[in-house]
Structure 1
Amino acid sequence: MRMSYDSEANAAYLAIEQDIPSGSATENVVVERPGQGDIVLDFDSDGRLLGVEVIGARELLSAAVLTTADDA
């Protein structure tokens, strides 16, 4: 697993799979956190979880977690 963080977009991505080819996420499930951000679960065509995007990362993740992420 690998986490990246884009401070300008305030978004983090936790990649479950090592390499996620473009277009392989065929289903996105959005969990809305009103006033805080959203969490998007990316699944492939076989229903396997590929990764988790956190939109509003500064509000939903601790600063300690964000400092461990790679720059996006």
Structure 2
Amino acid sequence: MKITYDPEADAAYLYLKDSIEAGEVMKTECCYPQGLESTVAINADFNAKGTLLGLEILGASECLPEAVLAEAHRLDQ
């Protein structure tokens, strides 16, 4: 699993496969975790078969452990 993090946007992406090809995401479902609705949104990306490809986490610093963000590939470097 690969994780990227953009600290300027405070957005992380958890890839559940090595790479996601352009056009592979066919459906995105958004959820707002209870108690964090105003600061965190999670977008789940699915392919045409309904397989979960990855998760985008907006407001990542509010809900992901610091150790996870520290190990993520930073998009600002």
Question: Given the two structures, how large is their TM-score scaled by the length of structure 1?
Answer: 0.93
Structure 1: 4+ residue segments shifted above 6 A: none
Q: Any unmatched runs of 5+ in structure 1?
A: none
Between the aligned partners of 1:28 and 1:45, the Cα distance in structure 2 is: 11
Richer in strand (by share): 1
Once residues 52 and 30 of structure 1 are traced to their aligned partners in structure 2, the CA distance between those partners, rounded to angstroms, is 10
The correspondence of residues 1-72 of structure 1 with structure 2, limited to 5 A, is 1-33=1-33, 34-72=37-75
- Tell me how large the CA RMSD over aligned residues is: 0.9
Letter in 2 for 1:62: P
Q: TM-score, normalised by structure 2?
A: 0.87
Runs of at least 5 residues in structure 2 that lack an aligned partner in the other structure: none
Sequence identity (%): 38
Count of residue pairs brought into register by the alignment:
72
